[in-house]
């Protein structure tokens, strides 16, 4: 019984850590300097991004490229700087999290 209890506690705490991993990655990579989850800062909020791209099947790959290469025009005149040093895999984790908001 004791083993079952600790196993459940371990699994629950592990899921909480993984649930926060994309947000931590976004913080570590400076995404929150221009974005927030719910409120427009310099760039659109992550919720606005999720709403804009929710029905687009190619949104994930498009957004990975947008983060990697930067650009402007999708949300006004303020350009998004390129982030070429962040791996596609890490960007993908962050984008998956954003698109689920």
Give this prediction's pTM: 0.80
What pLDDT is stored for residue 54 in this prediction? 95
Q: Work out the end-to-end distance of the chain between its first and last CA atoms, rounded to an integer number of angstroms.
A: 37
Domain ranges of the chain: 21-99
What pLDDT is stored for residue 37 in this prediction? 97
Q: pLDDT tens, 39-91?
A: 999 999 999 999 999 999 999 999 999 999 999 988 988 999 999 999 999 99
Class of domain 21-99 as given by CATH: mainly alpha
Section 13-28 average pLDDT: 72
Section 4-24 average pLDDT: 58
Region of 23 on the Ramachandran plot (φ > 0 left; ψ -120 to 50 alpha; else beta):
alpha
- Residue holding tokens 């689920």? 100
* Residue 33, token pair as written in the block: 């300097």
User: What is the spatial distance between Cα 73 and Cα 75, in angstroms, rounded to a whole number?
Assistant: 6
User: What is the spatial distance between Cα 21 and Cα 93, in angstroms, rounded to a whole number?
Assistant: 9
Evaluate if residue 3 carries a pLDDT over 70.
no
């Amino acid at each position: 019984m004791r083993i079952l209890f600790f196993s459940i506690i371990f699994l629950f705490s592990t899921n909480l850590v993984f649930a926060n991993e994309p947000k931590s990655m976004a913080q570590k990579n400076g995404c929150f300097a221009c974005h927030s989850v719910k409120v427009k800062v310099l760039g659109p909020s992550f919720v606005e991004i999720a709403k804009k791209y929710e029905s687009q099947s190619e949104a994930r790959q498009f957004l990975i490229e947008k983060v990697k290469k930067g650009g402007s025009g999708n949300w006004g005149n303020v350009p998004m700087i390129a982030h070429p040093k962040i791996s596609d895999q890490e960007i993908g984790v962050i984008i998956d999290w954003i698109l689920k908001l």
